[in-house]
Structure 1
Amino acid sequence: MDITFLGAAGGVTGSCHLVRVGDRRLLLDCGMFQGGREEEAHNRDPFPFDAAALDAVVLSHAHLDHSGRLPLLARRGFRGPVHATPATIDLARVLLRDAAHLQESDAERENRRRLRQGKGLVKPLFTADDVEAALRLFRPLDFDVPADILPGVRATLVPAGHILGAASIVLDLEEDGRRRRVAFSGDIGQDDSCMLPPPRPPDRADLVLLESTYGDRNHRARAATHEEIAGVLESAWEAGGNLFIPAFSIGRTQELLTLFAQHYDEWRLDRWLLFVDSPMAIQANTVHLRHDHLVREEARPLFAGRGLRERLPNLRETASTEESMRINSVRRGALVIAGSGMCTGGRILHHFRHNLWRRECRVMIVGYQGEGTLGRRLVDGAERVTIHGEEIRVAAGIHTIGGLSAHAGQDELAAWYGAIEGRPAVALVHGEARGREGLARRLSAAWGVQPTLPRAGELIAL
């Protein structure tokens, strides 16, 4: 029995870990690499295993950095089941279909340019057909229901609190009478989310694969974060322009809407024109309504019936391209939530082209910005950025809100691990160098453990 780390090992995207039990092979996640061109080029690399010989996949949650290469896996011969919670399956359907559309659109646009230049054509990373082939492989697995998914492999999904349906994965493995339990955290949410119940660690394990995105630091207190948001909203209104929030369509957008509904009067949101400008986020809103039993009890009324609509009467969901384009005729008072969360694509880029150079406009960054992304350049104070081949001057005010992360901070990660019986061996994944090293120091100081910091391709024997 062993585990090979094939992604999110020294970085925060491309989550993928290969588990071997005798002659059985399964993956924990099969995510897309995201960020700069060099990072994303790895998505086209061959898998370091035979996809057709793989027996199963267990998916922690729907975000593309965990699910985004499943269509490639299907194209290259994988025919086994993909186990995930029902909510994850519904959200993955939305995300993967949207990703295929973007891949095909980007390839078409690039090929028009290449034809003019007499260059060779490119193919999309995957197509809509590849996505449908992958979606046919999904099999629902409810929280806290152990399932024998392969001979010698029992999987149990535990709530992780990251996004709707997100799970930590517990694998009970058996080979030749030897038994081992592996716990893969997936992405762990904060304890005090306004929308989701807190994450729940497994009771015991022999090896823990623990995410470390924010392993070196804690987030601002929730109350301080709310005060900060209120301040940005007030200053943005006084500046006399529009406010743009690049946000992940799944998870972050719904959390923002929950906060806006809960603080509607306090934050004087009635004076804004509120837009959710993302077809994917609009579909995700519907999925949240379908699985409202998974949200916190106090937030449940917002996801039942017309609860959200009644609390946010000035909310507009702009599904079509034409509706999105009309937003740019609004010169003042538009509050626009649009994808993508790291500003690497989607409608937020079109809004930036029309507004980023306007001093009276504001941008509120509410999530993690990976190395090499446009969002990271804005956070780092870039004076000029390139969008769709055009250089844009950055005159709008950029505000970063740190406390809304869907990832746990250092204290919460340490507490999650510390609740597991016996302080098992731990490998830190899904983190850049400072996150992993910071969490390693914290765990070592607290419990004397020496975490492994695996690199891509490294193997741990069980």
Structure 2
Amino acid sequence: MNIEHHGARYGVTGSCHQLHIDAHTSLLIDCGLFQGSEAGNGNSSERHNIDFDISSVRALVATHVHIDHVGRIPWLLAAGFNGPIICSQPSAKLLPLVLEDAFKLGISRDKALVERYLKQIDARMIALPYKQWFTLIDTPEQRVRIKLQRAGHILGSAYVEVDVEQSPAGQAATNTSNDMDRLRSVPRTRSSTRIVFSGDLGASHTPLLPAPKPPYKADILVLESTYGDRNHESRATRKQRLKAAIDRALRNNGTVLIPAFSIGRTQELLYELEELIGQPSDGRSLPCKRSGTGTEAPIPVILDSPLASKFTATYRELKPFWDEEAHTRLKQGRKPLAFDTLLTVDSHHEHLKMVHHLAQSGRPAIVIAGSGMCNAGRIVNYLKAMLGDERHDVLFVGYQAEGTPGRDIQQYGPNGGYVMLDDERIDIRSRVETIGGYSAHADQQGLVNFVKGMKHKPSAIRLVHGDSGAKQVLRQKLQTICTTDTVFHL
């Protein structure tokens, strides 16, 4: 067995890992888009082409539906892949929404092509419950099973356990097809190897989702390392900083712009904002803006993303997969993802009107819009209209990849720099802040605890999905809890 990495080997996007079980059998774990500088300076479509041999791939396992983990599926199908697409039950609800949007943005908006593509996806999808083994291959020579476990990253996210049992080397080559039936009834000693692919692990305090629990064992572990060199702020601290940013916008008659991915981060923010804003009479609400009529109204939360609105509606449908805290709120009559001051903006015309209104009126508001790294989507129009005005705040709550406008704003904004948006130079005068605690990724301690919690530690660990510095620091931390014989691959 060996593992090839076709993405996220030296960066944090384009996750795609091929587990070669033998010369004729392999599994693909994720097949995601490259983003930011990792997408290259040339034709990004060419960057996403499947340039590796897929003739042995028996199945694609999707750990979760973020675009950097599933966005290359159209190119995979075009390359001839005709096997099943395996994912968790919640992911099976969310995946068509993600892939439809990505197809329209990156390939074609032709209705017939989109429908044909989605039918292919639907026909191939196998939705698995968590914690149950699924047998993918069962022959006299080998048995391959997979199990999905909650990863706590976004709704439906999973880490993958692959259990490979193989007959002694050479047995398959010496047996003929005529004695296969006989072999099935003869006891055989098989070697067993457990390979675990972490996908993206969530933080222990991610809203709506239970924290990931480590597997019992792993012989080989492929582990993400996005935040392998740092720890997040506590949930209490990040909520205080979120409230402080909103209070400041109220005082300045400005808008808090939060670039956020449509799935995962948006729903977590809505969950937190519902608690912060609350109802005017409950004692928990944020300061209110007095209107011209002398009455008070809580600050509006504007969700300006049709795709995020669809995902939020689907999240509400998937309440059985929420954690205990969220269910407690529901029993109290709360509406974590559908509170009264939440406004949604659907049409492009309404979006442009909202941008103009907030830029000109001085009405405080909180805007959540995609994309999360400011390289596309409706957040770009808000940034172009408001970055030059010191009344407003830009609040980053997620990782900004190298080469994205989000990284430039994050890096140069606090020093009065500028950013290029749609080939236009925009000077940055608004306040720019980053709240690390809202990352949906596990921090260094969370990653260490994931390995530490295994009863049987891996003999080999491959660190992926992280910058080189983060990998080096994480390796040093993991070496203190693993055996001296554990082999690390960076």
Q: TM-score, normalised by structure 1?
A: 0.89
Which AA in structure 1 matches 2:456? G
In structure 1, the partner of 2:9 is: 9
More displaced stretch, 358-367 vs 301-310: 301-310
**2:374 is the alignment partner of 1:372:** no
Structure 2: how far apart are the matches of 1:18 and 1:42? Answer: 22
- Residue aligning to 1:119: none
* Aligned with 2:98 (options 77, 85, 95): 95
Q: Is the 8 A contact 1:212 1:430 kept in 2?
A: yes
Q: Which amino acid aligns with 1:140?
A: A
Name the aligned partner's letter for residue 2 of structure 1: N
* CA drift at 1:375: 0.7
CA–CA distance in structure 2, aligned partners of residues 80 and 209 of structure 1: 23
Distance 1:306 1:32 in 2: 40
Output the CA distance in 2 between the equivalents of 1:426 and 1:197.
Answer: 25
In 2: Cα distance, 1:38 partner to 1:159 partner: 33
The two structures, once aligned, show a CA RMSD in angstroms of: 2.3
- The whole-number CA distance in structure 2 between the counterparts of 1:281 and 1:13 is 21
Task: Determine the C-alpha separation between the residues in 2 that align with 1:344 and 1:418.
Answer: 37
Deviation per CA, 1:297-336: give whole Å up to 9, x if none.
2213667999537972111111221221121122321211
Name the SS of the counterpart of 2:470 in structure 1. helix
> How much has 1:129 moved relative to structure 2?
4.7
Deviates more, 1:301-310 or 1:153-162: 301-310
Structure 2 unaligned blocks of 5 or more: 168-189, 278-283, 289-296
Aligned-partner SS, 2:488: coil
Contact 2:63 2:199 in 1 (8 A): yes
Superposed CA offset, 1:123-170 (max 9, x none): xxx967545533432110110111002232100000000000100100
Tell me how far apart the structure 2 counterparts of residues 433 and 128 of structure 1 sit (CA, whole Å).
Answer: 41
- Does the alignment pair 1:391 with 2:438? no
Contact 1:212 1:431 in 2 (8 A): yes
Aligned-pair CA distance for 1:196: 0.7
Judge conservation of contact 1:20–1:26 (CA < 8 Å) in 2: yes
Q: Decide which structure has the larger Cα Rg and report it.
A: 2
**1:354 corresponds to:** 385
Q: 1:355–1:306: structure 2 CA closer, same or farther, 3 Å change rule? A: farther
Identical positions, percent: 34
**After superposition, where does 1:367-446 map in structure 2 within 5 Å?**
367-382=398-413, 383-424=417-458, 425-446=460-481
Instruction: Specify the alignment match of 2:177 in structure 1.
Output: none
Which residue matches 2:71?
68
Tell me how far 1:362 sits from its aligned partner: 1.1
Q: Which residue, 224, 228, 238 being the options, matches 1:211?
A: 224
Q: Secondary structure at the match of 2:208?
A: coil
Stretch of structure 1 that moved more, 234-243 or 158-167: 234-243
Decide which moves more: 394-403 or 300-309: 300-309
Q: Quick check: 2:214–2:451 contact (8 Å CA) kept in 1?
A: yes
CA contact (8 A) 2:246 2:366 kept: no
For residues 76-105 of structure 1, what are the alpha-carbon distances to aligned partners after superposition, in whole Å with 9 as ceiling and x for unaligned? Answer: 211100100121122221111111222257
Q: Distance in 2 between matches of 1:342 and 1:149?
A: 37
Q: Confirm whether residue 44 of structure 1 aligns to residue 58 of structure 2.
A: no
| Change in 2 beyond 3 A, CA 1:169/1:215 | same
CA-CA distance at 1:7 after TM superposition: 1.1
Report which stretch shifted further, 28-37 or 154-163.
Answer: 28-37
Q: What is the TM-score when the length of structure 2 is the normalising length?
A: 0.84
2: distance between equivalents of 1:414 and 1:391? Answer: 42
Aligned to 1:80: 83
Shift of 1:12: 0.7
Report whether the alignment pairs 1:292 with 2:319: yes
Q: In 1, distance between residues paired with 2:42 and 2:164?
A: 33
1 CA distance for matches of 2:332 and 2:420? 42
Alignment partners' CA distance in 2, 1:190 and 1:71: 30
Unaligned runs of 5+ in 1: 109-125, 455-462
Does structure 2 retain, via aligned residues, the 8 Å contact 1:7–1:13? Answer: yes
CA distance in 2, matches of 1:314, 1:374: 30
